[in-house]
Structure 1
Amino acid sequence: MNYRIKSGDTLSALALKYNTSVDALMKANPQIKNADLIYADANLNIPGAKDGFDSAPGRSGPNLAGGRPGSTNGAAPPDSGDGVKGPLGSPYDIARSHLGKNAGSLKLEGSGVGKDMEDWVPNNVNCANFVSACLEQAGMISNGQHDNSVMGLMSKLDADPQFKRVSLKDAKPGDVVSMKVGSGQHVVLFAGWENGQPKFIGSNNVNSDGSQRISFSNMNYPIMAVHQYRG
């Protein structure tokens, strides 16, 4: 959410009004160097404006714009057991354990993936935040390699000798798949093949307000990279 700062506003008052924190506002607005110095008419990004609690099991919503229809709570693809694993487990299994959760709710959890996700990231753009956290939980990347942008995460995986680019036909569940979506990007984890079509799991814009939920999806966007962990 973007907010136009008014005369008399303070970060502490805005944090209270929008149920966030001054620290989160500072992280979401790196242009602000002094928490006590903000300017009227400047734009302020409000993190967590679309935080929400998990919807009832089985509820579905529209798929990420432009993608093929996908299930938000569907069963795992039959070949999901052939996935990659890190020192601490499978990122695919870790992602699947959070299926159906809203990104905003997941970030409030104090352990696991939720703890590794950065809570200041707006809830309509959590795809890289979620994938990074799953990779961290699997022991495949360090906290320093966590990135909230698709291009940033791609760059870090390219620089990591434990990851190698592969083609989609050679992908295994848990591989990191970066896609071109209109003028932006999206990143998910490969989930396997179903009826000859690739299936993915990630933080997708499936909620009616545009915020994200962990869901399975079939997508046909141009693929920029598939990164596979080799250990």
Structure 2
Amino acid sequence: MSSYRIKSGDTLSAIAKRNQTTVSALMKANPQIKNANLIIAGKSLNIPGSRDSFDPGTSRPGSGSRPAPSTQGPSAPGPASQGPKGSPFDIAKSHLGKNAGSLKLEKGGVGSDMEDWVPNNVNCANFVSACLEQAGQIKNGQHHNAVVGLQANLDKDPNFKRVPLSQAKPGDVVCLKTPGGHHVVMFAGMKNGKPEYIGSNNVNRDGSQRISYSQMNYPIMSIHQYRG
């Protein structure tokens, strides 16, 4: 999910069309808007739908094929990042195979920290934030449903430090640049010489997300490691 500053003359329908989403999705992502025909220039707008989604990488980029999601992680992920209440990596693993839409409805645990209004095709930051909260690595006020928003919050947190891929531990937060915007997952280890990630990924046939392992060829924007 990305942020857009409303300009004079903008309409929700025009903004939705430009960003390949719908007015309904915009309304859900921006509960402060009560009237679809009344938006205020200068205000920020959350843009759902295409900005945080991704298509899993393939051996032939651009082929358009969608490989089956993996529930098998790296063979030897090594020591995981730990928070006061546990490892976000282990917390994420406990939800492998669940649809993000169903997970949000669960009482207690990760589901209770995920925000229900977030559309089911853009839950990557919602899920990672919730795992970090459950591990005690961030507070509720640091939760963010946009990739760049979560990235900014971690940059401001003295308990987190940016590290290179060579120093990454399972559970570290990895922000990726995708053709349509951004995606955020957690490092899970190395598999066949390539980084493996775990997160809420767009692997369902309808484009909605499921908790799964994935290897992606997208450029890494940042890797945040908890040092608290």
State TM-score, norm by structure 1.
0.75
- Please give the secondary structure, in 2, of the residue aligned with 1:139: coil
**Count of residues paired in the alignment:** 190
User: CA separation in 2, counterparts of 1:71 and 1:193?
Assistant: 19
- Please give the secondary structure, in 2, of the residue aligned with 1:72: coil
The answer to whether the Cα contact below 8 Å between 1:99 and 1:215 also exists between their aligned partners in 2 is yes
Q: Does 1:203 align with 2:190?
A: no
- CA separation of 1:72 and 1:149: change in aligned 2, threshold 3 A: same
Q: Flag the structure with larger Rg.
A: 1
- CA separation of 1:144 and 1:197: change in aligned 2, threshold 3 A: same
User: CA separation in 1, counterparts of 2:224 and 2:97?
Assistant: 25
State TM-score, norm by structure 2.
0.76
| 1:23-62 to 2 correspondences below 5 Å | 28-33=29-34, 38=35
User: CA separation in 2, counterparts of 1:158 and 1:115?
Assistant: 25
- CA separation of 1:71 and 1:228: change in aligned 2, threshold 3 A: farther
Q: Does 1:148 align with 2:138?
A: no
**Unmatched runs of 5 consecutive residues or more in structure 1:** 5-23, 43-62
User: CA separation in 2, counterparts of 1:31 and 1:183?
Assistant: 25
The answer to whether the Cα contact below 8 Å between 2:27 and 2:36 also exists between their aligned partners in 1 is no
Q: Does 1:136 align with 2:137?
A: no
- CA separation of 1:228 and 1:40: change in aligned 2, threshold 3 A: closer
User: CA separation in 1, counterparts of 2:215 and 2:226?
Assistant: 22
- Please give the secondary structure, in 2, of the residue aligned with 1:202: strand
Q: Does 1:68 align with 2:68?
A: no
Task: Quote the offset at 1:25 in angstroms.
Answer: 9.4
- CA separation of 1:77 and 1:3: change in aligned 2, threshold 3 A: same
User: CA separation in 1, counterparts of 2:221 and 2:122?
Assistant: 18
- Pick one of 209, 219, 224 that aligns with 1:227: 224
- CA separation of 1:39 and 1:28: change in aligned 2, threshold 3 A: closer
Task: Quote the offset at 1:111 in angstroms.
Answer: 0.8
User: CA separation in 1, counterparts of 2:85 and 2:206?
Assistant: 35
User: CA separation in 2, counterparts of 1:76 and 1:102?
Assistant: 18
Task: Quote the offset at 1:180 in angstroms.
Answer: 0.3
The answer to whether the Cα contact below 8 Å between 1:158 and 1:164 also exists between their aligned partners in 2 is yes
The answer for the alignment partner of 2:103 in structure 1 is 106
- Percent identity, please: 65
The answer to whether the Cα contact below 8 Å between 1:68 and 1:217 also exists between their aligned partners in 2 is no
The one-letter amino acid of 1:179's match is: L
**Unmatched runs of 5 consecutive residues or more in structure 2:** 1-20, 40-52, 60-66
The answer for the alignment partner of 2:157 in structure 1 is 160
User: CA separation in 1, counterparts of 2:69 and 2:56?
Assistant: 16
User: CA separation in 2, counterparts of 1:183 and 1:73?
Assistant: 22
- CA separation of 1:162 and 1:97: change in aligned 2, threshold 3 A: same
The answer for the alignment partner of 1:47 in structure 2 is none
User: CA separation in 2, counterparts of 1:108 and 1:166?
Assistant: 34
The answer for the alignment partner of 1:177 in structure 2 is 174
Q: Does 1:191 align with 2:192?
A: no
- CA separation of 1:39 and 1:190: change in aligned 2, threshold 3 A: closer
The one-letter amino acid of 1:95's match is: A
- Please give the secondary structure, in 2, of the residue aligned with 1:82: coil
Task: Quote the offset at 1:76 in angstroms.
Answer: 2.7
Q: Does 1:2 align with 2:22?
A: yes
